[in-house]
Every structure is written in structure tokens, then in C-alpha cells.
Amino acid sequence: MIDAPTFRAAMATLAAPLTVLTYYDAHGRPGGLTVSSVCSLSVDPPRVLFCVNQANQSHDAAVGAGRWCLHVLGVGHEDLAHRFAGPGDRFRDLPVLAAAAPELPDVPTRLALTADGRRDGGDHTIVVARVTHATGLRDGGGLVWHQRAAAAAVHLDAPARRAA
């Protein structure tokens, strides 16, 4: 069996999207965290899945929220990724739109989500969520976590690649 450091090193070579997941907790307070374990799951019905580390202090509130907004971060939003990954008031001085879950209007793509199931994923909880609405569909996204740092995903120019 592979050991944890080797597994982490292998996974660091796999670029993952950087997103911010926001929600209201059981007391109506806004919460959020940076999530890089996110993927499209189904088109019909539209579903995504995301994973939350069970050791994360926000785990119970995040997983239990039932409604979320998934913010697909773009280049230039590294500060948001770091803010929502760390401690403190993550929403201080940020513009926020009130909706079923707090929305950060400056993020290129936002997906409104509702709970559709969850499963145990070892040290993470896997959440399946139905996408109920998509907002801000414009050029954006492309901020990824790669080799343990934020990086930009860029489109490769196919003709230039052939010429090289």
C-alpha cells in the first residue's frame, strides 16, 4: 500500500480547480471554505460533487448546510482562495449578495447548489449537489491548485504546439 507522503506527492502533480464554497450555517451565519476537490458529475440532472476534509473546522457546518454557492475562481482571485482557506472573518470587507447561500459577485462563475446526497470518503465527506442555477458565465475560472500552490490554467495554442 502507498504511504501518505507518497500519495500526497503524487496528487500534487494533479491540477485541481480552486473554488470557494459558501453557505449559511444552522444559525444563519455565513460560512465558507476553499475547496479543490470538485468535479462535474452529471448533466442530466445537473450535478457536481465536492469533498470536505473531516478535520476542517468548517466541516460540519459546510456539509450540513444543504445549500451552497460554488465560486469558480479565476486568475486574480488568489487572495480569495487564501482567505477562505485560513482562519478569521472570511467575509470581512467583501461584497456579498444575499441568496440561498452567500454569493461573491466578483467571482466569474457561481453555481447555486442543493444537497442531493453524501458519502463517506475516508478522511473526507463526499457531497453530491444538484446545480439549480449558474451565474456569471463569462471568461473566468482557470485558477488551479498544482504542486501545492495556486497556478493559472491556460489554453494551449494547438498550432503553436505543432510548430514546436
pLDDT tens figures, 6-43: 999 999 999 999 999 999 999 999 999 999 999 999 99
pLDDT at 137: 77
Record the pTM.
0.91
Of residues 63 and 138, more confidently modeled: 63
In percent, the amount of the chain with pLDDT more than 70 equals 94
Among residues 50, 43, 86, 91, the alpha carbon closest in space to that of 70 is found at 50
CATH number of 4-152: 2.30.110.10
Cross-strand partners of 87: none
CB 13 within 8 A of CB 92: no
Compute the chain's Rg from CA coordinates. Answer: 16
CB 61 within 8 A of CB 23: yes
Using the predicted structure, report yes or no on whether residue 69 has a pLDDT greater than 60: yes
49-58, 81-90, 133-142: range with lowest mean pLDDT:
133-142
Using the predicted structure, report yes or no on whether residue 153 has a pLDDT greater than 50: yes
pLDDT at 143: 93
Q: How confident is the model at residue 161 (pLDDT cuts 50, 70, 90)?
A: very low
pLDDT at 139: 65
Per-residue pLDDT reduced to its tens digit, 95-132:
999 899 999 998 979 999 999 999 999 999 999 999 99
Cross-strand partners of 19: 35, 72
State the cell numbers at 156: 494551449
Using the predicted structure, report yes or no on whether residue 160 has a pLDDT greater than 60: no
Q: How confident is the model at residue 90 (pLDDT cuts 50, 70, 90)?
A: very high
Q: What CA–CA distance (Å, rounded) separates 33 from 86? A: 8
Q: What CA–CA distance (Å, rounded) separates 148 from 154? A: 18
* Cβ contacts of 85-91, under 8 Å, gap ≥ 24: 85/33, 85/34, 90/31, 90/32, 91/30, 91/32
CB 75 within 8 A of CB 152: yes
Using the predicted structure, report yes or no on whether residue 134 has a pLDDT greater than 60: yes
